[in-house]
Structure 1
Amino acid sequence: MNEIIFFENIQKVTVGYQNETILTIEGNVFSKGYDINPNNPNEFINISSLIEDKNDRIIEDIVSGFSSIYLLTSNHNVYGIGSNEYGQLCFDSKTLKKKEKPILMMKKVSKIFSGIISHHVFLLNSNQ
């Protein structure tokens, strides 16, 4: 039997090839999928709580890439987590060890964009 989980105060939902991600009105991000938690891909985890800088834990926007998730913080920083061919965002199960925290990708970003199940993400900085 499949478990049904309900979240209150949902602001946005994104779906990648191997992930499902929910942004709450409070700025928390919950995600599940093989590229987020390969040991238990059906378990939602709070990705925003994994960001080391506590000042960046309030998330304003999210987008999903093909096997990755990008988080825009209230401080205008973008973090990425997930898997890709070379393991830069989180892990490559064939060659690299898993990293469990989102990495800071860029500062002073005003908007993030991604196509449906896209292999690319676009960042608009504060200078546009």
Structure 2
Amino acid sequence: EERVDFIQADVFDFLRDQAENGELYDVVILDPPKFAHNKRQIDAAARGYKDLNMYALRLVRPQGFLLTFSCSGAISPDLFQKIVFGALVDSGRQAQIIRHLGPSPDHPVALTFPEGAYLKGLLLRVF
């Protein structure tokens, strides 16, 4: 049975409820708004990204995929990967990085403005 559901809800509540109900999905995509508008907000943003990814990882069917993104310029790609790793440990799951993701070629980043490289993501295969 193929279908797509569009649901409007608080994502943290929704993911938590779905995990508690034992729901599983082949693919989960996380593309939240910017959690850190500046460097002072990094710790709070990291907690938000970690919780979001932990709940999402619990919802991915074995051999399924998680696509997770951050558009917070204050969160580096390295830090984002570490946050997702922490979520993976807390979720009790295993995963492989299939691909590091970033902006498409029509979104170039000026060498003089590295903050323009704010979009980062990971494609994970979850076990």
- TM-score bracket relative to the smaller structure: under 0.3
Normalised to the residue count of structure 1, the TM-score between the two structures is: 0.27
Task: Flag the structure with higher helix content.
Answer: 2
Q: Which has the higher contact order (CA 8 A, sep 6+)?
A: 2
Q: Which structure features the higher share of strand residues?
A: 1
